[in-house]
Structure 1
């Protein structure tokens, strides 16, 4: 397997990685582990709990959000043997897990193994423009991934601006990493909005790490990354958004509270999930 991209903050990586997982043993491979396998990778948008429509949900601040469009650049994806140190069941003390949650995603730093990620069991080393609403909740097939059979406990992925390799597909984003449009409503208030998010280098500010999973990788199955936009708007206060008198969507700039909430939430480990479909 190829190694993940290396970053520069070696000292911080060692310090935080040791603090979060000190005393925890690495997860071993399962009884079927160690074999070279090939499996498929896919993407889909998850529906919010209790919702039938894709891209519709109620936030923790009481706003009903309906997305009308959503594009993002996603990838590469790395699947690891070790559990996320931020899982409630992880052996790291609660205070250290809370420290990690507070520091992430604003202080990611990795050296080869993404803190406690351990062995890379699978990877998809490209990027893709993903339309959150186009597939109606169905899986978008990304391709095949070489890997190692065994129990995978976490995965990481990268958010970034579109590269030239994406061609016309990436050009529609105009150099942005993600563009969302929709309407937020609460009681009589209606807030049409548009937001374009940027995740430029350094790479430690583009990574989404510690996404917990418990899947048994094996030949011919499919690992699915689930995008969870209903988790991205947690803590978003649309009542602080000024809607243009013309009724046009409000452009959410980096100075707005909703933009800042999105920037943080999209890079948290709760922004995505992973599932496995056996062959």
Structure 2
């Protein structure tokens, strides 16, 4: 019906550009289309996708993922995980360096948001776990989506805090759950996730012997397309130099980490954030 396109145009003006159309059936960025302006909207309307889509304002900034677990008014909030850029054309999430790393100002700004999220869970009667994607822009946290499940960032949060989401859900099931007193679970260590390529059994064995490996996925396949592998590790505060030496030595032998990713790891683990936790 032609009038339906007019309704979308009106809603787009109300929401404001830039916009995203997001497929209800999609995940990991699949089906998302970036609409920069009115001309981009007209292009989209001329070549619509099949299925149902959500239209939302695109927040430019950096994506954060956070997880809450609990029941009956007792909830724990895992530390923030930083999972890549927002705004512009979508990229495959797992190509980015993702981490749970301390950022004092943002962590402090998130605490009152975490308390509001706990109250939301209480009001909704959440039992189990929810995952939120949020963006911090201009001093404000924007909630992009709420998912009733664990997520691809669950391991990052668990590795950082040392508090296992799955064990918490088991305690809920057994009637033994008691939420911690902290507004947000404190980070105990770095947790890091980055892409790896051409992963072999020998590399996995050596990595597990020399690093605190949380998980190595040799190959990610989404909708029949292979995206390479993924590695999740943790690193104690103060042990950054040793971690960088070991991952660099592993790569010199196995050639699994790109030079750009090694540079990003070095920047994160030796930069201002790292200095703040020493």
Question: TM-score with structure 1 length normalisation?
Answer: 0.23
Greater RCO between the two (CA within 8 Å, min separation 6)?
Answer: 1
> Which of the pair is proportionally richer in helix?
2
Radius of gyration: which is bigger?
A: 2
Question: TM-score with structure 2 length normalisation?
Answer: 0.23
